Amino acid sequence: MNTGELLIFLALVVPLFAAAAIYAVGRMPDVRETLTIVACIVLSVITISIFMRVGAGDPPEWTVAQPLAGLEIAFRLEPLGALFALMASLLWGVNSLFSIGYMRGKREANQTRFYMCFALAMFAVMGIAMAANLFTLFIFYEVLTFSTYPLVTHAGDARARKAGRMYLTILVGASLVLFLPGIIGVQIVAGSTVFTPEGLLPGRVDDVTGSVLLLLLVFGAAKAALMPLHGWLPGAMVAPAPVSAMLHAVAVVKAGVFVVLKVSAYIFGADLISTLPAATWLLWVAAGTIIIASVIAMTKDDLKARLAWSTVGQLAYIVSAALLPLGAGLVAGGLHMLVHAFAKITLFMCAGAIYVATGASKVSEMRGLGRSMPIVFSCFLVGALCVVGLPPFAGMWSKFLLITAAFGTKEWITAAAMIVSSLLGLLYLAPVALRALLQPVGDGSPRAFIRPGGAPGPVVAAVMMTAAACVALFLLADAVVAYLEPMTGSVR
């Protein structure tokens, strides 16, 4: 086993081992949580070295097994996957810190299962990020669904179970009915499902077959929450805040758009995408999703619901980016995936911090709360402005690149949808923080803390870390863009 194979092996085994160890020491919360943090750090070190190797042009690869003739369980890194793995493992660390504060602060039940499923979900994310072909990717994609199901239904009440059922039905249903036939279709047309630079399918499909496959694969990746397969995401908000933060801003939804980006770049290739009529239809669907989700987000009083709808819209940005002609949006899409992850996790963690400190979950209950929780609401403002795309936050670069790409390829509808939705975003996200921070307390004092001392220390620390990252990425965006450049193929 060479170093590259070893790195891949470790990236998979560390979260898996962490899950087993967490189960074993479940009765000792301190040991359990220390273990989680240690696993996050080890995994981050591994993904950083993988990231470095990919950057240096020496991507690790490893073929594990061949279940059937022509089908391989194999891993191979490329820039987008390395970035995704790195992002997920870093945010897992931050989120674990947050989880410790939140779960203890809320005295939640079944915490061992919670941490275990989280580790399993990370195992799945690593597999998705490193997969060398659609077959391997599909395996881990399903593992991700099943390992996050217990997290969604964590509360165990009727509402959570209902949301869990919808979660499973939509995600598994789409992957069985659409994604799997799509993958098998690719296998039949191309003889393999390997992610190939410049695309696997060019020259092997006509317009009709290509369009059908594209529709199957993009809608099949229902984790990308493209309408009309978005219903599971707002529903999944019944989960505890760390789950919403990590999974429904980072791991699960980003796995969905990651698949769309990968499929676009490495299965179809930029040139083929430009010629397929289905790509244009999907762009319209995505534009519709962007607008509709933003409008719905405006009407939501529940903060987490508002954030979830905002996520639906932002995911559609990345789907649009993936499908723009000539691969113009691929890099911007990758950047937006990264930036939005940091910004949205900040927002969700802030929502969690507010909830654990004051019990407030509705925007209307948060008037003047900024007076008592200035750090958390400042960080919320940072996250909000980053999502909207204002300087000096990283969101500005990704939005700028996205809209430029849309204009550059003359996709006016997409460009218009993006601009309009950014303005709407400013209307429904920023005021949450601004009202809490600026508006004088109307009648009486803000809501009292239900927990003495407000939000727990680890929670606030975690929020500050990701908010800082939103600013840091503003400066690093150029480097990320350069790193992702190989994805678009050698044409440019």
Partner 1 sequence: MISFEALHAAPLALTAHAPVLMVVGPLIAACAAALAPTARTSWMISVTGSIFAAWMALALLGEVARRGAVDYYIGGFAPPLGIAFHIDGLSVFMALLISSAGVMASLYSGHSLSAEVRAEKHTLVQAGFLLCQSGLLGLVSTGDAFNAFVFLEVSSIGTYALIAIGEKRDRRALPAAFNYLIMGTIGATFYVVGVGFLLAATGTLNMADMGARLATLGDSSVVQAGFAFVVVGLGIKAAMFPLHGWLPGAYSYAPSLISIFLAATATKAAIYLMARFVFDVFPDGAAFGQGFIAWVLAPLAATAAIVCSLQAVFEKEIRRMLAFSSVAQVGFILMGLSLATVAGASAGLFYLGAHALLKMTLFMALGGLAISMGARRLDELAGVARDAPWSATAFAIGAASLAGVPLTLGFLAKWRLIEAALQAGQIWIVAVLATASLLTLLYVGRMLEAIFFRAAPAGAPRAREAPVGVLAPLWILAGLNLWFGIDASLPEKLANAGALALLGGTP
The residues binding partner 1 (CB under 8 A) are 65-69, 71, 73, 138-140, 142-143, 146, 150, 168, 172-173, 176-177, 180-181, 184-185, 187-188
Q: Which residue number, 208 or 472, has a Cβ lying nearer to partner 1?
A: 208
Please identify, using beta-carbon distances, which residue of 236 and 343 lies nearer to partner 1.
Answer: 236
Q: How many CB atoms lie within 10 A of CB 286?
A: 29
Closest CA to 323 of 291, 255, 277, 290: 277
Nearer to partner 1, 38 or 177 (CB): 177
As a residue count, the chain comes to 492
Minimum CB–partner distance for residue 267 and partner 1 (Å): 16
Q: Which of 109, 250, 238 is nearest to 164 (CA)?
A: 238
Phi-psi region at 77: left, alpha or beta (left = phi > 0; alpha = psi -120 to 50) = beta
> CB 185 → partner 1: shortest distance, Å?
6
Choose between 192 and 404: whose C-beta lies nearer to partner 1.
Answer: 192
Report d(CA 278, CA 258) in Å as an integer: 19
Instruction: Provide the minimum distance between the beta carbon of 139 and partner 1 in the complex, in angstroms, as a whole number.
Output: 4
Residue partners of 270: CB distance under 8 A and separation at least 6: 198, 199, 264, 325, 326, 327, 328, 330, 488, 489, 491
Torsion angle of C-alpha atoms 288, 293, 298, 300, degrees rounded to 10: 150
Neighbours of 57 (CB within 10 A): 7
Output 41 or 180, the one with its CB closest to partner 1.
180
DSSP letters of 38-56? HHHHHHHHHHHHHHHHHHT
Rounded-to-integer distance, Cα 171 and Cα 223, Å: 7
CA dist., res. 8 & res. 434, Å (int): 44
- Supply 56's token pair: 């240096």
State the Cα–Cα distance between residues 321 and 405, nearest whole angstrom: 8
SS3 201: coil
Alpha carbon distance 479, 492 (integer Å): 17
Q: With respect to partner 1, which residue has the nearer C-beta, 15 or 368?
A: 15
Q: Whose Cβ is closer to partner 1: residue 102's or residue 138's?
A: 138
Q: How far is the CB of 82 from partner 1 (least distance, A)?
A: 23
CB nearer to partner 1: give 204 or 371.
204
Question: What is the gyration radius of the CA atoms in the chain, in angstroms?
Answer: 21
Nearer to partner 1, 97 or 205 (CB): 205
Q: How far apart are CA 47 and CA 7, in angstroms?
A: 8
Q: Which residue, 73 or 321, is less far from partner 1 as judged by CB?
A: 73
CB of 74 to partner 1, least distance (A): 12
Nearer to partner 1, 135 or 428 (CB): 135
Instruction: Residue 342: name the closest of 47, 152, 38, 94 by CA.
Output: 94
Crossing angle of helices 111-130/252-262, nearest 10°?
Answer: 10
Q: Which residue in 197, 96, 186, 169 sits closest to 135, CA to CA?
A: 186
Q: Residues 6 or more apart from 439 whose CB is under 8 A from it? A: 367, 368
Q: Which residue has the tokens 């962490």?
A: 18
* CA gap 241, 302 in Å, rounded: 13
In the complex with partner 1, the residue whose CB is nearer, 185 or 288, is 185
User: Smallest gap, in angstroms, from Cβ of residue 41 to partner 1?
Assistant: 28
